[in-house]
Chain A
Amino acid sequence: MGATKTNNGNIFSKLIKQQLFIPLAALLILIIFNLIMDPSFLKITLGYNNIGNPVLSGYIIRILDNGSEVAILAIGMTLVTAASGGQDISVGAAVAIAGSVLLRVLCGSNTHPETLQAPIIVGFLVSCLVAMLFGAFNGVLVAYFKIQPMVATLILYTAGRSIAAWVNNNELPIISEASFGYFGGYIPGIPVPTPLIIAVACMVAIGLVLKFTNLRLYTQAVGINESSSKLNGLNPQLIKLLSFVILGICVAVVGLIKVSRNSTINYSVIAKDIEMDAILAVALGGNALGGGKFSMAASIIGAYVIQLLTTTLFKFKVPSDALPAYKAVVVIILVVISAPVVREWFSSMIKKFQTKEVA
C-alpha cells in the first residue's frame, strides 16, 4: 500500500470513528433529501400570528420547536444511560405527573380558574420538586437496590399516569390565562418559539455544568467501572442517583412546555412514547446504551434528527399512527450498522479486498 493511500484511509476512518459522525450524517442526509423534494425547505419567513405578534415560521422552525421536548429529555437520559448503563422508561409518565402537579398548583381546587391561584414560577418549582422526587425514587431503586434501570422505572411507568390523574382527581383543569401559554408558544415581541429558547437554555445550562464541574468525569468513571471508581473515592450510588434527579429536572421542564402548549392536560396522551424517542436520541447519538463515555452534543443532535425524520414523514402524508414503523426501520438500520460484530465483519471484508487488490 502506498503512503498516500493509508493516509486517506486514516482520515476517512478517523471521520467515521468520530461519535458525531452518525447523527450529523443522518441530519445531513435528511436535510438534503428534503431540499431535493422541496427547495423551500430551509426558508424561514417572518410573519404575524393571529394576535399580532411577530413569529418566525418555516419547516426548520417547526422542527426546532417541536424537537425541544425530546432534546431536553435527551440531556437527562444521556446522563442516566452513562451512569447506570440502562434507560429510564418512565419519563413520559413522569412528564404527566409534573404537568398535573403544575396545573394543580396553578388552578387550586377550581378546575377552570379565571386567574391563576399561584405564580407560574411557584407552580414550576413545586412540579420540579415532585419530578426530582420521582427521579430520586427511580434512582434509589437502581443505585441502592441494584435493580436494572429499565425494570426499576417500569414501576413508575405503570403507575405514573394514574398518579397524574389522581393529583387532579381525574379532572381536566384548563388554564385560560394568556401568559401561561407563552411557554409553549411565543412570548409577545419575540419571534422565536419559546420551547426552543427553553431548550437552548437547558443546553447552555448543562454545558456550563459539564464545564465547571466534574459531572462528566465522575459519571463516565462510574458507568465504565463502578468498583474502580469506588476505590478512587467516588460514591457510585450517589452519582447514579444524581443522574436520575437531573433527569427529573428535565422532566419538569418538559412538563411545563407540554402543558403550556395545550393549556390543559390529557393524562393518557401527554408525552406518550416520549421515553422511546429520548432513548432513541441517545442511541442515535452513538452513545453506548451500556453506559460509560457519552457525548451530550451527539444526543441532542440525535433528538433533532428524530424530529426531522418525523416532520419529513408527515410531509409525505404518512399518518401519525404509522410513524413508529418507519422509525423502527431507521433504528434497526442504525443499530445494525453500529454493532461491533457487523463493524468487525466489514473491516475484515475491506482488508480481504485490499489484500486481493495488492496481490
Chain B
Amino acid sequence: MKQKQTKFFLLASLVLIITIAVIYISIFRLQVGSSVSAGWWIKSVYDYKEHFTEQIKEPKIIIASGSNALFGVDSRVITSITGYPSTSLSVHAGLNLDFLYFKIQKHLKQGDILVMPLEYFYYYNTEEILSQWFVSNMIAWGETEYLDKISFLSYLAFIANTPKERILNGLYHLGKKSKLPSKNEVMNELKEIHNKKNYKFYGYSHRSLNKYGDILAPKRPNDVVSSIFFNTGEDYTTTNTELDPAFLADFEKIQKLADLRGAKLILTWPVTMRNKLFDLGTEPHQARVSLLSEKLSENGVKIECEPGLFNLHYKFFLNDRYHLNSVGANIRSISLGNCIKGLIENRVETYTFESSLEKVKALEAKYNYGSSGLEWKEVDKTYSAHLRPH
C-alpha cells in the first residue's frame, strides 16, 4: 500500500512538472513573431540578399560572415577580379554559425566558392551558449529562418536560453502591427531606389543596400573617425586560446555541406582596424593571430590568405571596429578578390605580416579618396551573363 502511494506520488510529480513545462513551451510558441523591438532590418536585408543570390546562375562566389562583409565587401570588385559573380550573405556577427549554415545550404550549389571571413569571436569559447541578442531576434523574425529548422532538442535548449522577461515582452506585444515589411515591399522599395541611381546611405536599413546587396557607406570626416577609432579594437582576439567546440562542430557541418554539393570552402580572415591597439605590424598581435591559425590547424581547419591584408588603417572605418566605409570596402575587396583568385588558380602566394601590410598600405595610398579604378560597366556585364532570365 505504502509503495503504491509512493509510486503515485512520484508519477503525479512527474506528470505535473511535465504539464507545467508543456504550458511554458506553449506560451513561448504563442509569442514567437510578436512585434517586439529587435533587429528587424536584418530580415529585410536577408530578403534582398537572398533574392539577389537566387538570380545568379552557378557557379558563383558566396561570401558569408557577419557585418565585416556586409559593410566591407564590394561584390563588384570581387567579381571583377575573379570573373565569378559574387554575392554576400553576410549581415550580422551576432547571428551564430548554425544560422549561417541554414542560409548557406539554401543557396550553395555545385561549383560555387563559399568564402567565410568570420569575425574573431566566432572562434572562441564564450560563456553564453546562445547570445540573448540572437535568441531575441530569432523569436522576433527567425521563425521560418531558423526556429522551424532546428531539432526538437535544440528547440528546447533555445527555450531554456530565452529570458522570461523576453517572453513576457513578446506576450505584451502580441497582436500589435508587425514591424517587418513584406518581402515584396522590400523588393519594390529597393527597385525604386536602385533605379534612381543616386545611392544614399540610410544606416542600418535594407534601404542602404546597393543593387548587389552590399552596403557601401560614405567616408566620414577624419577627425570624427579619429575620435572614435584611435583607441579601439584591441579585443579582436582573446587571451582565451581554446577554440569553441560549437564552432568546430558547426564548421565541420558547413565543410560537409560544401563537399556534398561539390563547392569549395575558403575560411579566411575578417577585416581589422589598424591603430595603436591592434597592429599586425607588431609582434604581440601577430602572435595572437598566429596562435588562432595554429589552433585551427591543430583541429584540421585551414585559414587562407594573410590576416595583414585585411588590417586597414582606422580612417577607413565607419562606426564599428568591423565596419568599413566604401573606400575601405574597396581596398579590402581587392585584397580578398586577389586571394580568392590565387586559390582558384592554385597559385600560392606567401606573404609575411610585414609584406602583406606593405601591400595593404600601398592600396590605402592608391585609393585613399579615389574610386576603385575599375570599370563598372565591365563588372555589370559579368553579372548580366550569370543572371537567370526572368
Q: Do A and B come from one complex?
A: no
List the interface of chain A (C-beta within 8 A of B).
none
